[in-house]
Homo-oligomer: A and B are copies of this chain.
Amino acid sequence: MQASPSSRHVRLDESLLADLPPFSKLDGLAIRNILAKATTHRFDAGVSVFEEGNAADRFYLLLDGYVRAVRITPDGDQVIALHISAGQLFGIAKALGRETYPATAITATETLVLSWPTSIWDDFSARYDGFATETYKAVGKRIGEMNNRIVEMATLHVEQRIACALLRLINQTGHKVSDGIEIDFQITRQDLSEMTGTTLHTVSRMLSAWEKSGVIKSRHKKITVCDPHQLVVLSTARV
């Protein structure tokens, strides 16, 4: 289901962008120019912003919320490639010479995004100092993360992979609560299994065990990590 975004209007203030790396070197005028060309969209949770394989005609900035990059195999298995959090550009296929999106972007929460037509990418990177550089830096970070995923999948057991996935989630999208660090958005066992290449059943068993030993707590669709250090231990346990 491609989303039909509700285009509720939002005050576009230059302070929205001024602190984000790709824009941080730009002056007020440049930022206002960039904002003037942007379209704002609001999406509900669980809808797609764009679909894998479609023509990459726009690129996006996530202003608020979380988005997942998801790929679907020929026989219907979903794989969650990564999570995108507020302040990050996504759908930047053009920056890497692609004509189509490499994955489907699905909102994990209600989100607010800006978007621009792909056609002005070249103009942006030529005109605005640091825009391209900082963007490619972000790409570099994602590549590093993907690399880590590959190594994890190749060498670790399911228990360790789930531990790694939880650690990544609380690092990137966690907030402190009274009894630990909670993941910002709702997440199911199924989601976690799609991040780690296993089944929701195995994830459920694992989390149950960890809850018994006090490493995590979980309410419906919500996970709090109480003992991150123990999770690190689990994630690096010798075979």
A residues within 8 Å of B by Cβ?
Answer: 71, 73-75, 77, 79, 81, 93, 95-98, 102-103, 133-134, 136-137, 139-140, 142-144, 146-147, 149-151, 153-155, 194, 196-197, 236, 238-239
Decide if the interface of chain A is mainly helix, strand, loop or mixed. Answer: helix
With both chains docked as a complex, state the minimum distance between the C-beta of A139 and any C-beta of chain B, in angstroms. Answer: 6
Distance in angstroms between the alpha carbons of A96 and B140 in the assembled complex = 5
Nearest to A137 among chain B residues (CB) is: B97
One of B133, B134, B150 near A150 (C-beta < 8 A): B150
Distance in angstroms between the alpha carbons of A194 and B139 in the assembled complex = 25
Number of copies: 2
Distance in angstroms between the alpha carbons of A238 and B134 in the assembled complex = 42
Question: Which residues of chain B come closer than 8 Å to A139, judged between CB atoms?
Answer: 96, 139, 143
Distance in angstroms between the alpha carbons of A84 and B14 in the assembled complex = 43
Nearest to A122 among chain B residues (CB) is: B133
Question: Which residues of chain B come closer than 8 Å to A74, judged between CB atoms?
Answer: 236
Distance in angstroms between the alpha carbons of A153 and B139 in the assembled complex = 22
The answer to whether B136 touches A71, judged by C-beta atoms less than 8 angstroms apart, is no
The answer to whether B146 touches A143, judged by C-beta atoms less than 8 angstroms apart, is yes
Distance in angstroms between the alpha carbons of A155 and B136 in the assembled complex = 29
Distance in angstroms between the alpha carbons of A140 and B194 in the assembled complex = 23
Nearest to A149 among chain B residues (CB) is: B150
Question: Which residues of chain B come closer than 8 Å to A238, judged between CB atoms?
Answer: 75
Distance in angstroms between the alpha carbons of A81 and B147 in the assembled complex = 7
The answer to whether A153 touches B153, judged by C-beta atoms less than 8 angstroms apart, is yes
The answer to whether B140 touches A81, judged by C-beta atoms less than 8 angstroms apart, is no
Question: Which residues of chain B come closer than 8 Å to A236, judged between CB atoms?
Answer: 74
Distance in angstroms between the alpha carbons of A237 and B146 in the assembled complex = 26
The answer to whether B96 touches A155, judged by C-beta atoms less than 8 angstroms apart, is no
Question: Which residues of chain B come closer than 8 Å to A144, judged between CB atoms?
Answer: 98, 102
With both chains docked as a complex, state the minimum distance between the C-beta of A62 and any C-beta of chain B, in angstroms. Answer: 19
Q: A146-B150, A147-B71, A149-B150 are in contact. Are A79 and B155 (CB under 8 A)?
A: yes
